[in-house]
Chain A
Amino acid sequence: MVRKYIALLRMKYVEMLAYRLATIVWMTGAVVQPLITMIVWMNIRPSQSDAFVFYFMALIFVERMTSAWDVWELDREIRHGTFSTYILRPLHPIHWAIAENIVYKGLFLVVLVPFWAVLALFVPVLRLDVTGTQMLLFLPALVLGMMLRFLFSYTCGLLGFWITKVTAVYSMMEVVSLFLSGRIAPLSMLPPVLQQWSIFLPFRYMIGFPIDILTGAANRADIAFGFLVASVWVMLLIVALCLLWKAGLKKNQAVGG
């Protein structure tokens, strides 16, 4: 398995190098909306400007690190019938997607961390003032976020065996998650009803939860409960993925190819 993964990673790494410029250009496109939202909040609460700067910079980082594009890929491959070539291989297709995610997120990390460090030189708020425990909790929360978003996107992609407009459905979910994941506002700024929803739905754990740990907005009980809910969702999504995969293979008609 390890040898297989090394081969996969190397392959995906070479693939990525071919598109690295496009990837970095795309990354800049994902920055504008959080920045505008940040400016809105700085206008609403001028006294908390610094906190919002930190929150939204962390948001850009976490959002990039957890981003998932598998639904678009799967949708295209299933519709065009090229997915069949993956099914024939002796390794579950999900491993290709996982390898791709690891490689791209490595690239994001290599770009974003130095960028943050340089920015912190000029913007004092961004100098990390966190305890070791916070950092120790942040990293697993970030990994959980990556897993959740990846599994969610992949599971949705598998629905492509049945419906053709799966990306449209996914885009709608993304928009719903704008509110519940903490992208429009930190959890504490939301109306109480939305706060309640976001605690039990998976979206918050994809983006907002790691940030709340970093900013100290979540207390001990919140964090413990959060990890619990997130883990339950990961397990649920894994089960759903397996079931959909089995049923989908029977359904697959391999158009074209």
Chain B
Amino acid sequence: MGRYWRIFREFFRACFVEELEYRSEFLSNLLSSFFGIGIAILTVKIFFYQTDQLGGWTYADVLVLLGVFNTLRGLIDFALRPNMPRLLEHIRKGTLDYILTKPVDSMFYVSFRHLMFWRLIDVLLGLGVIGYGLVQQHYMPSLLDVAMFVISIGSSFVLIYALWMMLMTTSFWVIRIDDLSFIFDSFFETARFPSGMYRGWLRIILTYVLPAAVITNMPALSLLGRWNVVTTAVSVGIAGFFLWLSHRFWRFALRSYTSASS
């Protein structure tokens, strides 16, 4: 474990140096992040212009949820999004060979080799919106609330990682030209709003099959002090299970990998 942490720190350093080459991009990226969160808040405002609750959540609650959504998306864009399309490239060009020969777990390497630092701005902005929402709600989270929040957002991240990894692993059999990240984006977009909003079979799917609604709702509810030990424990268990499953799937897929280059 300690070894992997050291390797991750090394990736971090290498990518940071790389990123410093493009300093002039920083300002425009900063602007677009601010713009993005501003628009998201405005959208919520438009909805609440016509109502005072959405799926049982008040305006301030939805702001906290939006903050969680932005934080989680920032984390995904920071660590996962730069890597997933590259996996397709590796498989298609046969450059996965180089990774397989390295003495590290290949799934770890392909998942975290490339990091996009400026996306951490979105994480900060997301935390800012969470703070703003909590102030609007006049709720000061206790230490326990925050702990529950950290646990549940962590397990959400692991769950997203595992699901996306499994989606990408299918490319060992079906080699596509375009990456499938937009399928993931559509799925994640449903996590922007309270899950109580969805009804009938859609709600069942988004809670149990593709738990998009749960991954943002639970951390938000934790921070608002409405956590539940059992559901949090279950979510950690599920995330662990899917992580294990995706790793097994990856190993299984590697068996059918026949290097593309000669």
Chain A contacts to B: CB under 8 angstroms = 22, 25-26, 28-29, 32-33, 36, 39-41, 43-45, 165, 168, 172, 175, 178-179, 184-185, 189-191, 194
Contact = CB atoms under 8 A, between A and B. Distances in A.
B54 A40 contact: yes
B205 interface: no
Given A29-B183, A44-B51, A175 B35 contact: yes
A185 B46 contact: yes
B50 A184 contact: no
The majority secondary structure among interface residues of chain A is helix
6 contacts: A43-B55, A172-B35, A179-B43, A184-B46, A189-B50, A190-B49
Contact of B189 (A25, A33, A43): A33
The majority secondary structure among interface residues of chain B is helix
Contacts of A172: 32, 35
B50 A40 contact: no
B50 A44 contact: yes
A191 to B, nearest CB: 5
Contacts of B204: none
Interface of B: 28, 32, 35-36, 39, 42-43, 46-47, 49-51, 54-55, 177-178, 182-183, 185-186, 189-190, 192-193, 197-198, 202
Contacts of B202: 39
Nearest to B51: A44
B254 to A, nearest CB: 27
A6 B248 CA distance: 54
Please give me the 7 A-B residue pairs with the lowest Cβ-Cβ distance, nearest first. A32-B186, A44-B51, A29-B182, A43-B197, A175-B39, A44-B50, A191-B49
B110 to A, nearest CB: 24
Contacts of B49: 189-191
Contacts of A25: 178
Nearest to B47: A40
Contact of A178 (B39, B51, B185, B192): B39
Given A39-B193, A39-B202, 5 more contacts: A26-B182, A29-B182, A29-B185, A36-B190, A36-B193
**In the complex, which of the residues A33, A39, A43, A45 has the most CB atoms of chain B within 10 Å of its own CB atom?**
A43
A22 B189 contact: no
A6 to B, nearest CB: 30
A196 B35 CA distance: 22
Nearest to B49: A191
Contacts of A191: 46, 49
B88 to A, nearest CB: 14
Contact of A40 (B39, B186, B197): B197
Contacts of A29: 182-183, 185-186
Contacts of B193: 36, 39-40
Contacts of B190: 32, 36
Contacts of A189: 46, 49-50
A97 to B, nearest CB: 22
Contacts of B47: 40-41, 44, 185
Nearest to A22: B178
Given A40-B193, A168-B32, A179 B46 contact: yes
A22 B180 CA distance: 11
Contacts of A45: 50-51
A43 B28 CA distance: 37
B173 to A, nearest CB: 17
A41 B36 CA distance: 22
A172 B35 CA distance: 8
Contacts of B185: 29
A18 B49 CA distance: 46
A175 B35 CA distance: 9
Contacts of B42: 179
A45 B193 CA distance: 16
Nearest to B45: A191
A32 B35 CA distance: 22
A222 to B, nearest CB: 21
A204 to B, nearest CB: 15
Nearest to B50: A44
Given A44-B51, A44-B54, A178-B39, A36 B192 contact: yes
Contacts of A33: 186, 189
